[in-house]
């Protein structure tokens, strides 16, 4: 049990959680950070600490660990999972990029597993896999700009070829008409072709708009220039529009087929993206540990501790930013000494000592590394109760002393 309900705010752990979230590379990692919670199972705590320590070592010694394209593709997977639907090419390409990152992570741990390094992280990675067919089908269909390749189907290739031909024809005809209008003094000598409503048009002074036959698509803000699509190319532009609609229909057909290839693998893809979120979270915990100069203490399966040169994490970071040092503290509780009384003058550090004890123990049981000497000993506690600060309540007519008594009553229950 943790008391009070605002324990994390009281001790500063909410700030630690925010720091970890800020180190995450994607929303999947931040969601995992939100799920960090106080554990009381010795094996679970030890496993979480080992994972974070292993990643701390990766950050210190490895320079090949993938750190780009951590993309949350859950919405794309949700679209693909529904029979008969499709995801856009750009979304599938982001899925592909993220899967490439996950595959690189899995390959990294597979290589390290052979040498016996990072066993806890390697074990977690070993149960994940991605079918190579997914990569092959996406690479065959979508280019590096996230667009459908011309070669994705013969029909698409033919449609796009015809669109290009008609665009070239229109461009040639328009340039001829543009030069002709210039030579006749109907438009400015430096006038150039423009696009309006997806159509190539000629900018014409409003006073000459009736001298060039065509469709007016737009006019300038001042009204002095109109943009005319000459009637000679109007039909060709309509044909291009029809071809573009046919292109879109063919692209949707290709995307539906691609999603049908991916759909049977949705379950394993959901699993590898959960893995990515957890890895991102562990990486973030390790990054924060390095900033705090934190280590993994020696964990015991009983409520004891022997902390050496322990520093309050937030106080340490605040002072570190100002090139100031923090006075560390040693704390010890064992089977024979179950109570530790701290006394001293005002501003002597009593509250900091109490908050350090509560926050650091909570961090350990959340699987976080802590700023203390690495051969320090840490234990597992079922409950953490704190009663720090002035908690008088005007609403409930409680004095400071009464509020402390109520808290003590909760502790003793």
Per-residue pLDDT of 328-362, as tens digits, reads: 999 998 878 878 787 777 766 788 888 899 999 99
Please give the helix or strand (H or E) that residue 53 lies within, else none: helix 42-61
- pLDDT score, position 281: 98
**Residue 95 clears pLDDT 50, i.e. is over it:** yes
- pLDDT score, position 406: 58
Per-residue pLDDT of 199-240, as tens digits, reads: 888 899 998 888 888 888 899 889 899 998 888 888 888 899
What residue ranges do the domains of the chain occupy? 16-148+253-291, 154-243, 294-382
- pLDDT score, position 175: 87
Could you tell me where the beta strands, DSSP code E, fall in 175-213?
194-196, 199-205
Q: The domain 16-148+253-291 is classified under which CATH number: 1.10.1420.10, 3.20.20.70, 3.40.50.2000, 3.30.70.20?
A: 1.10.1420.10
**Residue 400 clears pLDDT 70, i.e. is over it:** no
**Residue 391 clears pLDDT 90, i.e. is over it:** no
Predicted TM-score (pTM) of the model is: 0.84
The CATH number of the structural domain formed by 154-243 is 1.10.1420.10
Per-residue pLDDT of 48-92, as tens digits, reads: 999 999 999 999 999 889 999 999 999 999 999 999 899 999 999
Q: Do 154-243 and 294-382 agree at the fold level?
A: no
Of the chain, the percentage scoring pLDDT greater than 90 comes to 65
The stretch 269-286 carries a mean pLDDT of 98
Residue of 72, 21, 110, 93 whose CA lies nearest to 275: 72
- What secondary structure does DSSP assign to 239-253, as a single string? HHHHHHHHHHHHHHH
State the Cα–Cα distance between residues 80 and 74, nearest whole angstrom. 10
The CATH number of the structural domain formed by 294-382 is 3.40.50.300
State the Cα–Cα distance between residues 332 and 308, nearest whole angstrom. 9
- pLDDT score, position 347: 66
Residue of 49, 18, 21, 57 whose CA lies nearest to 367: 49
């Amino acid at each position: 049990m943790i008391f009070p309900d605002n324990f994390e705010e009281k001790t500063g752990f909410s700030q630690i959680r925010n720091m970890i979230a800020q180190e995450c590379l994607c929303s999947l990692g931040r969601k995992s950070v939100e799920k960090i919670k106080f554990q009381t199972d010795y094996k679970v705590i030890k496993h979480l600490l080992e994972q974070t320590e292993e990643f701390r070592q990766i950050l210190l010694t490895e320079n090949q660990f993938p750190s780009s394209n951590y993309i949350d593709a859950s919405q794309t997977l949700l679209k693909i999972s529904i029979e008969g639907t499709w995801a856009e090419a750009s979304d599938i390409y982001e899925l592909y990029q993220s899967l490439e990152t996950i595959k690189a992570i899995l390959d990294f741990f597979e290589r390290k597993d052979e040498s016996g390094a990072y066993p806890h992280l390697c074990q977690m990675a070993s149960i994940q896999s991605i079918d190579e067919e997914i990569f092959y089908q996406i690479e065959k269909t979508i280019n590096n700009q996230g667009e459908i390749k011309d070669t994705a189907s013969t029909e698409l290739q033919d449609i796009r070829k015809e669109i290009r031909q008609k665009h070239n024809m229109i461009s040639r005809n328009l340039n001829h008409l543009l030069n002709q209008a210039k030579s006749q003094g109907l438009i400015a000598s430096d006038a150039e072709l423009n696009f309006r409503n997806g159509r190539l048009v000629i900018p014409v002074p409003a006073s000459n708009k009736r001298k060039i036959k065509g469709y007016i698509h737009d006019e300038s803000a001042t009204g002095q220039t109109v943009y005319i699509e000459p009637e000679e190319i109007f039909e060709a532009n309509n044909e291009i529009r029809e071809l573009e609609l046919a292109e879109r229909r063919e692209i949707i057909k290709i995307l539906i087929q691609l999603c049908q290839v991916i759909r049977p693998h949705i379950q394993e893809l959901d699993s590898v993206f959960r893995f990515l979120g957890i890895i991102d979270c562990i990486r973030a915990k390790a990054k924060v540990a390095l900033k705090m100069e934190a280590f993994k203490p020696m964990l015991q399966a009983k409520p004891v501790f022997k902390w050496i040169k322990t520093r309050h994490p937030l106080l340490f970071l605040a002072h570190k930013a100002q090139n100031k040092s923090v006075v560390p503290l040693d704390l010890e509780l064992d089977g024979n000494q179950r109570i530790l009384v701290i006394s001293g003058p005002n501003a002597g550090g009593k509250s900091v000592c109490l908050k350090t004890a509560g926050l650091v123990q909570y961090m350990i049981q959340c699987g976080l590394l802590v700023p203390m000497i690495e051969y320090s000993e840490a234990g597992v506690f079922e409950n953490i109760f704190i009663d720090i600060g002035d908690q008088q309540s005007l609403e409930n007519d409680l004095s400071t002393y009464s509020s402390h008594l109520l808290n003590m009553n909760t502790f003793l229950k």
